[in-house]
Structure 1
Amino acid sequence: MRIIDLSSPVDAAGFEPDPVVHDVLGPKEAATHMSEEMREHFGIDFDPAELPEGEFLSLDRLQLTTHTGTHVDAPSHYGTRASYRDGPPRHIDEMPLDWFFRPAVVLDLSDQGTGAIGADVLRREMDRIGHTPAPMDIVLLRTGADAWAGTPKYFTDFTGLDGSAVHLLLDLGVRVIGTDAFSLDAPFGDIITRYRATGDRSVLWPAHFIGRDREYCQVERLAGLDRLPAAHGFRVACFPVRIAGAGAGWTRAVALVDE
């Protein structure tokens, strides 16, 4: 079995609208920190000079959103309404794990450009590869946008889905849709331009807002979908980090290819 990493890194050096703050306590600094914490919280006195080389264990502190790097959006991310169930939409820690380890299909949208594509484009791509996703398959959308990760262009130039495309996949029984772009919807600028030109509210983030009426999850900011050896015949594991009450959780998404 070959394991192919489909994740983008959390990198404080790259451009992010919500900047990542990554502070590192080196082993010597962390020794002092450990000593102070043990004294304050547990009443234990320990001189860090007694440690080998006077060093303990490095410690990283991060400030970031759950939508930084490769992550899974939970139904609660889409709004407070869940017309498909009694009670509120589920948070990321409430989602069934078996959604996130499934056979997968990759659809190539890399020739589509910036904007929102419809169900007709997805149908043509399924016809081209000769395969239709089965219920509970994970569908991955290769837009090529990951080439711009870490730059402002990553957030402004990519292909998203319109409402008809999302409904098509959900009608097939898909519950997890992934993309190598910043969002499953079209870029903000494209959406706002079309809305101002038409006044049609259905163009406002349909890929997300559909989640208020149909329960599903998105995996955003994938990477390396071009390294998959075929359009199907592999599995994807994308278990989200279990953050209590959160609308999203980071994932180290991988493809598992039998050889």
Structure 2
Amino acid sequence: MRIIDLSSPIDASGWEPNTVTHEIMSAVEGARHMADRMRQNWGVDVDPSVLPGGELLTLDTLTLTSHTGTHVDAPSHYGTATYGQARHIDEMPLDWFLRPAMVVDLTRVPVGTVGADELRAEFDRIGHTPEPMDIVLLHTGADRLVGTPKYFTDFVGLDGPATNLLLDLGVRVIGTDAFSLDAPFEHMIKKYDDTGDQAALWPAHIAGRAREYCQIERLANLGALPRPTGFTVACFPVKIAGAGAGWARAVAFLDDPGDAG
């Protein structure tokens, strides 16, 4: 079995609209930290020098949003649902996130939106239409810009009809290697200014107010998939109680030994 990593990193050194901080406590500092805690909490004095090498363990402390790096958006992220109570990420069924998958090549589409007709044309080209509960991955090529400001402005998203087409087919998890499943902010605002149509504003996300589904945003490496179908994706979100999203390590499993190359 071949496993392909489809995840982008959480990296404090890259550019993010919401700053990521990553503080690392060294093993030596960890020993001192343990000694301080033992003294403060239990009144026990432990000399860090008694530990092998005077070290204990490292510790990472991060400050970031749940939408940093590859993550799964929960229905509660989209706003007030019309179908009932929208579930948080810790409430979603696990079997949504281990499913047969397909990848749709949108790398030739310019910055902006993709419509339902373009998705249908790609299904015809591939010779496969998503089946209920399949995971659909959108390969836009935007992951090449990860860590730069352009990653948040130069990408392709779904319009409302395209999102609803996938939901009509029974898809409940839609993924993209772009920053958002919707078009870039400036593109949506311009379309709204030109038309006055509120449907131009975050249509992919707002579709989740009427029907329950999840998005995987900020995927990567979709170009490494050797074929558009015939693989399984796992993208289990971290179980954050009451959260609208959770980080995920998304991977694809290919069973054909010939894929190992």
Instruction: Name 1:45's counterpart in structure 2.
Output: 45
For residues 15 and 128 of structure 2, the distance between their equivalents in structure 1, rounded to whole angstroms, comes to 37
For residues 197 and 42 of structure 1, the distance between their equivalents in structure 2, rounded to whole angstroms, comes to 66
Instruction: Name 2:5's counterpart in structure 1.
Output: 5
Deviations along 1:177-236, whole A, 9 cap, x unmatched? Answer: 000000000001111111111111000000001111100000000000000011000000
Shift of 1:174: 0.3
Q: 1:232 is paired with a residue of what secondary structure?
A: coil
Shift of 1:100: 0.1
Give % identity: 68
Instruction: Name 1:31's counterpart in structure 2.
Output: 31
Please report the TM-score for the alignment, with normalisation by the length of structure 2: 0.96
Pick the aligned partner of 1:191 from 184, 188, 193. 188
Instruction: Name 1:22's counterpart in structure 2.
Output: 22
Deviations along 1:19-77, whole A, 9 cap, x unmatched? Answer: 11000001001111112123333443321111011001000110000000000000010
Q: After the TM superposition, which residues 150-165 of structure 1 pair with which residues of structure 2 at under 5 Å, given as runs?
A: 150-165=147-162
Number of equivalences:
256
Instruction: Name 1:254's counterpart in structure 2.
Output: 251
For residues 161 and 111 of structure 1, the distance between their equivalents in structure 2, rounded to whole angstroms, comes to 14
Pick the aligned partner of 1:137 from 125, 134, 140. 134
For residues 112 and 143 of structure 1, the distance between their equivalents in structure 2, rounded to whole angstroms, comes to 8
- Name structure 1 gaps, 5 residues minimum: none
Instruction: Name 1:84's counterpart in structure 2.
Output: 83
Q: 1:141 is paired with a residue of what secondary structure?
A: strand
For residues 83 and 42 of structure 1, the distance between their equivalents in structure 2, rounded to whole angstroms, comes to 52
Instruction: Name 2:259's counterpart in structure 1.
Output: none
Letter in 2 for 1:142: H
Q: Which runs of 4 or more aligned residues in structure 1 lie more than 6 Å from their structure 2 counterparts after TM superposition?
A: none
Pick the aligned partner of 2:143 from 129, 143, 146. 146
Q: 1:36 is paired with a residue of what secondary structure?
A: helix
Pick the aligned partner of 1:114 from 90, 111, 116. 111
Instruction: Name 1:178's counterpart in structure 2.
Output: 175
Please report the TM-score for the alignment, with normalisation by the length of structure 1: 0.97
